[in-house]
Chain A
């Protein structure tokens, strides 16, 4: 039990560090889509709802499964769709030359 805890803690801490490293390189221009994209990633809680379903064996369990699944699905589907909608606008083909020329 304690071995599992420690390996999970190690994964947690290292993921935090990777998160700090990756996120701090994102420019302010993209912060809104990034926040929305990160928001979608915590929709992985839908996997937790699946585990809940596999354990549920009583009416109370079914109700909790439904609640967890509905909330998680709104998070994960909505999160990815709205982020994609935003980023699609950033990625429109632009006929204007880039202005790298006037950078020092």
Chain B
């Protein structure tokens, strides 16, 4: 081991420590930002060490370094501009987009390593196997995440898309990708085989994500995030770079845990999500909610709600997907501030999958300056629903469906917010259309519940105006 190699190894160790410490600090809101900056510091150390090593050890042609710089400039400016201008409601698709390019980069690095070794030194099995795995996984994440991002953005219809024979093509793509992969390991120096792996994997990525419903897309984004981690680790194996192996493994673990937790909060298994669109229950979601007893619905006006709120002591706001979709987080926060200033206790009950991905609602509310202490997690909120005078449900549905406590329906066993235990309930919702599970919600026909049919943003605006009249009067 040369002194240079020793120094690089030490730098990678420092980077790894910074990554782990950074992730560790992300467990509390007060330290999370510092954690991310520390992780970024680790990134700088790892990349600089690699640059120094590459310059001193291999050198390389001037043109290659120019290509690198141009690429960094192009990709970096695109990333920074998108990151700084994205609306907070659009975070999920941007995360998916950044995940796609990461997977694509991993595939490109492995592919390049293969191509650049076509002449000269023969690659051993310890390089070939990770190269093929990286091209395979990286390409699947690249195309899959792009499709998921498109679904979340609404460019691609978010309903499960499928066509006759899709499954056959899907299986064929896997077989071709794996077969060509094995062959390119057995007969190195054949770039055509690796191109086949690349294309078949891209096709598989597309076909894997197209049949997945929009509501399940965040789970897939998380799963593909884990895949990208693995692809990057494979690239690390291929070019013997420990920083990439460690970082890739950390992300692989993070993505896996998040995927499992998310699936649990949505009462779905990862397997059934991945196989989702293949004719299993997802069609029901668009068919409407059979059996909802619309006769028992009690409609209320903004004025009714304002009176209730003005005379309440404890108010619990239950934000859901509808609030995120209408971008009504600022209105919700304005209403809460108005009530808080009037001496009313207002808090938010946040389901783990409220919003468009886990924890997304917290980001939206934080954007609207809601104090972190007012946001209650599932268990904390359920402990205090009994004492709430009014639960204000804004665009949430399945996450507060009391039927989850009964067996034999799509939400059975799903962890829910016990909204029905509040003394009274107001639901702001655009219509009686069912949630993602496609089943009626008895909460809406509960005698304690008043329904206010409106877009979350407009509805909250009207309520704010009405509340102001009572409070200032």
Contact = CB atoms under 8 A, between A and B. Distances in A.
A97 to B, nearest CB: 8
Interface string A38-52: 111111111111111
Size category of the A interface is 35 or more
Contact of B363 (A33, A46, A63, A99): A33
B458 interface: no
Interface in B98-127: 98-99, 101-102, 104-106, 108-109, 111-113, 115-116, 124, 126
Interface string A79-101: 11111111111111010111100
Interface in A10-44: 11-13, 15-20, 22-44
A1 B235 CA distance: 16
A49 B33 contact: no
A15 B95 contact: no
Contact of B64 (A11, A22, A35, A56): A56
A87 B43 CA distance: 18
B251 interface: yes
A87 B375 contact: no
A78 B82 contact: yes
B372 A65 contact: no
Given A68-B112, A70-B75, A90-B29, A35 B357 contact: yes
Given A1-B126, A98-B373, A53 B242 contact: no
A27 B258 CA distance: 11
Contact of A69 (B67, B116, B245): B67
A22 B235 CA distance: 23
Contacts of B143: none
A60 to B, nearest CB: 6
Given A4-B126, A91-B33, A19 B254 contact: yes
Contacts of A54: 54-55, 57-60, 64
Given A36-B91, A37-B36, A64 B108 contact: yes
Contacts of A67: 71, 104, 108
Size category of the B interface is 35 or more
Interface string B9-45: 0000000100110111011111011011101100100
B397 interface: no
Nearest to A7: B242
Residue of A16, A61, A65, A85 contacting most chain B CB atoms (<10 Å): A65
Interface of B: 16, 19-20, 22-24, 26-30, 32-33, 35-37, 39-40, 43, 46-47, 50-51, 54-55, 57-61, 63-76, 78-80, 82-84, 86, 88, 91-92, 94-95, 98-99, 101-102, 104-106, 108-109, 111-113, 115-116, 124, 126, 221-222, 225, 228-229, 232-233, 235-237, 239-258, 261-262, 265, 350, 352, 355, 357-360, 362-363, 366-367, 369, 371-375, 377-378
A15 B26 contact: no
Contacts of A62: 63-64, 66-67
A40 B22 CA distance: 12
A86 B102 contact: no
A101 B47 CA distance: 46
A53 B54 contact: yes
B4 to A, nearest CB: 13
Given A22-B23, A42-B247, A44-B47, A82 B83 contact: yes
